[in-house]
Every structure is written in C-alpha cells, then in structure tokens.
Structure 1
Amino acid sequence: MKEVFVADLAKLDENKPFDGVFLVLSKQQRTTRAGKPYLSLTLGDNSGQIEARVWDVTDHRIAPDFEKGDVVKIRGCVSKFDGTLQLKVDMLRGVMEVEYERADLLPATTYDVAELWVKLQQAVASFTEPDLKRLVEAVLADPAVSGAFREAPAAKQLHHAWLGGLLEHVVSLIGLADRVVPHYPILMRDLVLTGVILHDIGKIRELAWATGFEYTLEGQLLGHIQIGASLVEKTMDALPGFPPRLKTLVLHMILSHHGKLEFGSPKLPMIPEALMLNFLDDMDAKMQTLMTEFQKSERMGRAADEMTDRIWALDQRTMLNSRAWLNADESKS
C-alpha cells in the first residue's frame, strides 16, 4: 500500500529522507552551469506531480535503465527552490507490479463514474429530436466505445487529465448547456448536446492510459478531431435514413469545436450550436485548469497571497486564488 503521496510532500520536513513509489512522467538529461550532468524528472501519482532532480547520475544507487512511464521507488527529500517545492532523489530503482496499485499512481476523477454515466444516459434520454437521439445511442451502444469513454482522460496534461476525465468533462458540459441554451431561442438544444457528447469522442483512440497518459500513434498522426469525425460519420452512415443535412451539422460541430484554425480546428464554427459548443468547451477547460493550478500551488506550500506558476492555457499568465486570499484575510481578523 502506497504511504506517501505527492499531496503529502508539502507537509514533510525539508531535507528529511523518505521512501515513496511514483510514476515517472518525464525524464530529461541536463547539465548544470558548471557542465555537470544531472537528471530532471517529473514524478507523479493520483494526487498530483512534482519536479525531481538526480544530481549524481553515476551513483550506483540510481538505476540506469528507467524510462518515462516506469514505476519507481525512490529515497529522497523535499526542499524549496525559488519558492517551489522540489524533490531531491538519492536512490531509485524499478518496482514490480506486485509492489504497487495502479489506482494509486494514475490520477482519477473524484466523482463516481457510474453516477456520471447515468447522468449522460439521462441527457440522451431527454432528446426530442429522434435522429440525433438514435445517433448518440448508437455510438454509446458499442461496448468498446462506452468502456473507453468511462476510463479515458480528457487530455494528456491540460484540463481533466485523469482517468474518467473525458466523461467528467462531458457531463459538466451537459450541465452548462442545459443552463445556457434555454436563454437563446436560436439554439437547437439536442444539436448542442449531441456536439457536447460527441465532440471529444476521438480521444478514446487518440490517448492511451495504461501507465501514464500518452498519445497513440493514431492520435499523433490524425488527432482526436479527425478520429472522432470519422467514427461518428460511420455511425450515421450505418443508420437507415439518417438526414443528410443533420449529418452535415453534426460533423461541422466536431470539426469546428476548437474554435480557431490555429487551435487545430479544420473549420471555424459557422452555426450557432457550434459557436456555443466552442464557448462552453473552452470555459469548462479553462476553469478546470484553474482549479488544478490552485490545488498544485497549495500542494507546493504557497501562501494564499502568492500567484500560480505561468499557465500555458491562459496565455502564460499567473493567477490568484481570490477566494483563498479573501478567506486568509478573514481568518486573521
């Protein structure tokens, strides 16, 4: 049973050795300013990740053949460098499968997956447009699709990057759509929800999540937009009498959901439902990214008045957790 998690490291005494089992998320060989080689690692488990350093790469206590994606046992200590918590590794070896639980190492949704799946099915059952309803039901009826949909992360390392993240993201979007869509009569609810449920379906084949989160070869060569559009198009073609115009609209929503050509969308959103899907998708991704960054800052031991690291998804800006900052001020009074 894993005893020390990344989330616990900020509570440990600095420079006091401890043992722990972690997943290697990245491994790079670098050199110091003096020209001495060292290893820069990112280690993680289901509670988060932390930067780590192996300063003596020739030390016989450091296994020479570990790679990204391996599970390792380390002995090391935590310390702060430029205000950021970092792990110094003194010993490292590979571990056998019997020495760890996969669930301890890969981050996973904190929601009940069965309950999320019920919410997804309830949303589909509420459709009033019969062709869109049978399309979504047909996609989800494939055991390979539904099984992967329950497990897949929504991304490799950005928003909802954990087991069950794709399903969590989609159910969150369903809730947002049912709040926003009634406000705008020009929107077709069932078309928006179809886009919400199917826009990222290609990620079940774009990503692999056996140990860590990686892109498949298909994912690298095609990407989830192309994979998803192809999967949905084949499903529509197999449904007798599926309306050609509705087919065009559904495919357009998948192809345009990133919103901009430079963000990977082959087309810009050109119908109201596609525009709304892009807005909702972008908002949910950014807000979840923010929550993850705030949790990361807390794990690193930062005070409430300290900004986050620069956030790539928010144009490299830093952010302040305003709620935590206000609460810290109230606790002093």
Structure 2
Amino acid sequence: MEQPTLTPAKCFVRDLVDGQEVDAIFVVKARNRRQKRNGQPFLKLELGDVTGSVEGVVWDGVDELAPVCDSGAVVRVLGRFSIDERYGAGITIQRVRLAAEGEYDLADLTEVPPVPYHQLAADLQSLVNTVQRPHLRELLARLIDPTTRVGRAYHEAPAAKYYHQAYRHGLLEHCLSVAQGVSALAATFPGIDRDIAVAGALLHDIGKVETYASRNGAIELTDLGKLLGEIPLGYYRVRRMIERIEGFPRADAAALLHLVLSHHGKLEHGSPVVPCTREATLVHFIDNLGGNLGSFDRIEKALAGGALWSDFDRGLATAAYFGARSDQQPREAA
C-alpha cells in the first residue's frame, strides 16, 4: 500500500482536535475484528502513544490490513479524527502500514516511570536491606533480585493492562511505592510486624510476572493470566519458593501467603479471602491508594493542554480534576 515516506510531524493523541487530518505514528495496543450490520468485517483498533490512546476504525480492506495491525505493531496511520456525540472520539482510518525504521522514536510511543529505572532499583535494594529476618531477605533475593530469572521479569513487567503503571518497570514502581508507604506507616500504627508487611508489599503482585506479556507498550493477558489470574499465580510462586528455603517459619509463611491472597480486599474483587491481619489490611489499603493515584497520573498525561477536568474514568469511577498548581510545569510528551 502506497503512502508518503517522509517522516510525519509529531502528532500526539492528547493534541488531536475534532476534524483534524491525521498522518501519525502509533502503537497498536489492541485489535478487534467486528462485523457491520450487513455482515461485512471491520477492524476496531486501540492506537496509542506516550500521551494516551485513541480508537481507530478500518472499514475497508480488512483482510489485507489485519496482519499489519497486530498488537504491539508500530504503524503509520492516515485518516481523520472526529468526535461523535454518540460514539465518542476516534480516527477513521483511510490507510495504514507498518512504520519504517527512522520514521519514529520509540520514546514517543511508550510510557516509562517518572523515576529512572536505576533509581527505582537502588531504592528497592535499600528497602530490602532494612528487612531484619534472614529468611525473609533470602525469599526476596530469590524472587525480586534482578540477577534471577523471575527477578528480571519483576523489574520489567507492567503493573496493569490499563489503569495504573501500565508500562515497562511499572510493576517494580508500584510494588516499591506500596512497600515504602507500608514501611512509613508501620512505625505509626502499633502492633504491625514491619518485616512481614514490607516483604508482603514487595511480593503482593508478583503473580503479574506471569499474567502479562508486553510488546512496544501493548499489554496483553497471557494464557495463564486468563486461566488462573494474578493472585493464584503469585500465591503458588511465593509458596513454592518458601518451601525451598530450609527452616522458613510456618507462621511467617502463613502471614505472607495470606497477604498475597487477600490484597484485593474483597471476594468480589478477586481475593479468595479478605484481609484478617494488621499487615494484610495495611498492604491492601496502600495498594488500593497507589492504584488510584496511578490512575491520576495516567489521566493527566492524556489531558489536553489547559483542560482541568477529564472525562469519566472507570478506574476512578468519576472524572478527575486538575486545578492550577504552583508546581505545574508544561508537560512534554518525551
């Protein structure tokens, strides 16, 4: 399919306006084949860059274009962006092809944590060093140290498919922030076993190393993620490793495993048990807080310049407000 070969001007999702002609590079984050009322197929795509995502629709040439639009593919799209009162915002795609090398900078297309990875890794090691019990430090070394296979996956994985820290190193960023919050509050509330709470906070989402697969920022559930879910996957991984550490105290094992199983807080939210200990309760609430605040970060990145309110967000169950702040700086896409 013939298309212009000159490198297109940068055009970010958050800057699209109604009626705009689009010639831009995006990552395909999701692809779905649908049918029109007459039975003819069409493609519904989720297209994204570092600032957010937008729907794209291919009405014609579906069989030819579907292989180009695999999840994770970097594509050059020509079309028209419009905002429909009924169907919302989206790009009607006229032409699409794989982007050529040199047409794009991957940093413009994929999100990363606001804190550099090397700093996250150093902060993680500093926190692990504060855990006093040798068997807990050994468990953490085997599961989250980047020199191990599972540890490398823990450092690379996203924290979610969409709602918060859905990018490379997102799992590390999320678990570290939860554990840092838990560590700070453990000194405030009496009766909390800090070692268990911090170790559990660092491990509560470790099932996600098997739950998600990512390519160029496009995140998909793995077969195991769909069949088992992240909580059972995390429980079995932590339990298997505990059983390999000689002399691991049964009480500490039960406390950690309860924390992994209960961290979603409610049965209807996917936890097979609810938090029954101080440590599990603390981790659940800080985990929930971290996820919600991560949603604000995601929403703000996609907010159009000068906008104070977002649209309704399912992750927050409300719209988000970003009033003028003295520390606000102009936001760059990359």
Using the size of structure 1 for normalisation, the TM-score is: 0.84
Q: Residue type matched to 1:320 in 2?
A: Y
Q: 1:59 to 1:240 in 2, by over 3 A?
A: closer
Query: 1:176 is matched with which residue?
Result: 181
8 Å contact from structure 1 (residues 48, 107) kept in 2: no
8 Å contact from structure 1 (residues 24, 67) kept in 2: no
Which structure has the highest helix share of the two?
1
8 Å contact from structure 1 (residues 23, 71) kept in 2: yes
87-96 or 170-179, which deviates more: 87-96
Using the size of structure 2 for normalisation, the TM-score is: 0.83
105-114 or 277-286, which deviates more: 105-114
* Structure 1 residue 16, shift from structure 2 partner: 3.4
- Describe how 1:167-206 pairs up with structure 2 within 5 A: 167-206=172-211
Q: 1:63 to 1:134 in 2, by over 3 A?
A: closer
Name which of 274, 278, 287 aligns with 1:281: 287
Q: Percent identity?
A: 28
* Structure 1 residue 85, shift from structure 2 partner: 4.8
Segments of 5+ residues of structure 2 without an aligned counterpart are 1-5, 329-334
8 Å contact from structure 2 (residues 26, 77) kept in 1: yes
Aligned residues: 319
Structure 1 runs (4+) greater than 6 angstroms displaced: 34-37, 96-99
Partners of 1:288 and 1:48 in 2: CA distance = 14
Name which of 307, 310, 326 aligns with 1:308: 310
8 Å contact from structure 2 (residues 136, 199) kept in 1: yes
Partners of 2:299 and 2:68 in 1: CA distance = 28
- Describe how 1:35-184 pairs up with structure 2 within 5 A: 39-54=43-58, 56-58=59-61, 63-69=65-71, 70-82=73-85, 85-95=89-99, 104-141=108-145, 143-184=148-189
Partners of 2:94 and 2:245 in 1: CA distance = 60
Partners of 1:2 and 1:190 in 2: CA distance = 53
Partners of 1:24 and 1:231 in 2: CA distance = 29
Partners of 1:234 and 1:169 in 2: CA distance = 23
Partners of 1:295 and 1:238 in 2: CA distance = 43
SS of aligned partner of 2:165? coil
Name which of 5, 10, 31 aligns with 1:26: 31
Partners of 1:4 and 1:261 in 2: CA distance = 49
Q: 1:119 to 1:80 in 2, by over 3 A?
A: same
Q: 1:30 to 1:202 in 2, by over 3 A?
A: same
Query: 2:331 is matched with which residue?
Result: none
Q: How big is the alpha-carbon RMSD for the aligned residues of Structure 1 and Structure 2?
A: 3.2
Segments of 5+ residues of structure 1 without an aligned counterpart are 328-333
